């Protein structure tokens, strides 16, 4: 869990003070926000008895401390605890964590909960985040890593002027998540059932996907391989007039061999994609939000804009 902020700061009238983890913004202190987070789900505990109530309380206290540790770094968000939307969402997230009873997705959902609190009103981002938090509590970490693989491969724009550079990037990102991602057909089917993804009719291999998303790079590689302009360009003719000229792309067999020869990580990533249902899967917006949040959480230095949720 994120370490709590412990510092002492003194200021005059109108200043924001942080003292022994006590933060006051617009009348809401750090300690009060923590109590709100715990009180918001007190009614939930009323239906539990004995040991179940004690365990649930321990889990929710752990979750509340994780949330407030994050908010200690963003004290301007404490004022949002005076809003019904914040208290209800905090209550619901704590209830989901108490029910799940494991910490494997707690850090990820806490990150998303802070992002939700930071949203203004009920904008579309907050609607998606609210759904993503609830959905994440229904998934395994292996399923979430599979979503992150799809975010990188299908939606994150990798850069690089050479195939070597591109492979280095995708192996570092998608390859990192592929190591723990599920291969289970049932678990991947469930991502579709729960609304995180859709299945296409046809499989699309990793090499075919590369040619679709990185046409300019593939065409330049083909040109390096076949520099003769007569073979580099193909034309479509109609009534003796050329109406279309397009650059040829590197063939998929050559690409597949290049991926496999690059590194073991790249070969494993390519095999994972080609031999599982990922080759037929496209992400829906909830799946993208969860996969992107997982990227941000495990690769914090990676720049990821929210627009990754919406690109086609």
- Domain assignments of the chain as residue spans, ordered by start: 18-136, 141-309
pLDDT in tens, 98-143: 888 777 899 999 999 999 999 877 788 888 999 999 999 999 999 9
pLDDT of the residue at 27: 62
Task: Quote the distance between the C-alpha of residue 89 and its chain's center.
Answer: 20
Question: Chain centroid to CA 31: how far?
Answer: 30
Cα 175 from Cα 153, distance rounded (Å) = 10
Q: What is the pLDDT of residue 71?
A: 86
Compute the distance between CA of residue 306 and CA of residue 41 in angstroms, rounded to an integer.
30
Per the listing, tokens 């709590």 go with 4
CA distance 153 to 155: 6
pLDDT for 235 equals 41
Confidence (pTM): 0.81
Q: Which residues of the chain have pLDDT under 50?
A: 1-26, 230-245, 312
Residue 309 is predicted with a pLDDT of: 64
Evaluate whether 191 touches 155 at the Cβ level (below 8 Å): no
Rounded Cα gap, residues 30 and 45, in angstroms: 23
- Reduced to 3 states (helix: H, G, I; strand: E, B; else coil), residue 258 is helix
pLDDT of the residue at 64: 85
Nearest to 182, CA basis, from 210, 220, 135, 145: 145
CA pair distance 147, 142, nearest whole angstrom: 9
* pLDDT reported for residue 44: 63
Q: Give the single-character DSSP code of 104.
A: T
- C-alpha span between 52 and 34 (Å, rounded): 22
Q: Which pLDDT score is estimated for 245?
A: 39
Alpha helices for the chain (secondary structure H): 30-39, 42-45, 50-71, 84-100, 106-118, 124-136, 141-150, 163-178, 185-193, 206-213, 215-225, 229-232, 252-262, 264-275, 285-298
- Which pLDDT value is given to residue 241? 44
């Amino acid at each position: 869990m994120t370490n709590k902020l412990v510092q002492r700061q003194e200021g005059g009238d109108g200043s924001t003070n942080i003292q022994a983890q006590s933060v006051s913004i617009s009348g809401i202190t750090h300690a009060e926000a923590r109590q709100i987070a715990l009180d918001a789900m007190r009614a939930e505990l009323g239906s539990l008895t004995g040991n179940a109530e004690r365990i649930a309380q321990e889990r929710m206290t752990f979750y509340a401390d994780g949330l407030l540790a994050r908010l200690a770094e963003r004290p301007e968000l404490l004022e949002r605890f005076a809003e019904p939307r914040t208290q209800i969402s905090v209550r619901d997230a704590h209830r989901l964590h108490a029910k799940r009873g494991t910490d494997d997705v707690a850090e990820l959902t806490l990150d998303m909960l802070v992002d939700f609190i930071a949203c203004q009103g009920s904008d579309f981002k907050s609607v998606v985040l609210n759904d993503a938090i609830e959905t994440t509590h229904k998934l395994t970490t292996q399923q979430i890593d599979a979503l992150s693989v799809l975010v990188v491969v299908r939606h994150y724009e990798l850069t690089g002027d050479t195939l070597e550079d591109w492979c280095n990037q995708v192996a570092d990102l998608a390859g990192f998540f592929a190591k723990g991602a599920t291969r289970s057909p049932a678990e991947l089917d469930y991502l579709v059932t729960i609304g995180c993804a859709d299945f296409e009719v046809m499989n699309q291999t990793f090499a075919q996907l590369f040619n679709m998303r990185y046409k300019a790079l593939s065409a330049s590689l083909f040109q390096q391989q076949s520099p003769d302009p007569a073979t580099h360009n193909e034309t479509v003719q109609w009534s003796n007039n050329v109406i279309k000229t397009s650059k040829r792309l590197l063939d998929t067999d050559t690409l597949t061999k290049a991926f496999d020869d690059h590194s073991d990580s790249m070969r494993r990533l390519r095999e994972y994609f080609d031999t599982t249902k990922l080759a037929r899967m496209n992400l829906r917006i909830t799946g993208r939000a969860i996969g992107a949040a997982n990227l941000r959480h495990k690769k914090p230095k990676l720049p990821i804009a929210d627009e990754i949720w919406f690109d086609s």
